[in-house]
Structure 1
Amino acid sequence: AEENGVQPILMASRALVKAAKGPEDYLATYAHLLRQASEPVILHWLGPMFDPALEGYWGSSDLDEATDTFLKVIAEHPDKVDGIKISLLDAAREIDVRRRLPGGVRCYTGDDFNYPELIAGDERGFSHALLGIFDPLGPLAAHAV
Structure 2
Amino acid sequence: MSHIIGDTVFVGIIAGLLSGMVKIGWEAILPPRSQARDETNPPQQLLQQLGFSRAFTHAYWTYATDQRIYFVALFMHFGFSITFAALFTFLQAFNHVVTIGQGTVYGIVVWFIFHIVLLPLLKTIPSPAKQPFAEHFSEFFGHIVWGWSIYLVMVALIG
Q: For the superposition of Structure 1 and Structure 2, which TM-score range results when normalised by the shorter chain?
A: under 0.3
Relative to its length, the structure with more strand (as a share) is: 1
Larger Rg: 2
Larger RCO: 1 or 2 (CA < 8 Å, sep 6+):
2
Determine which structure has the larger helix proportion and give its number.
2
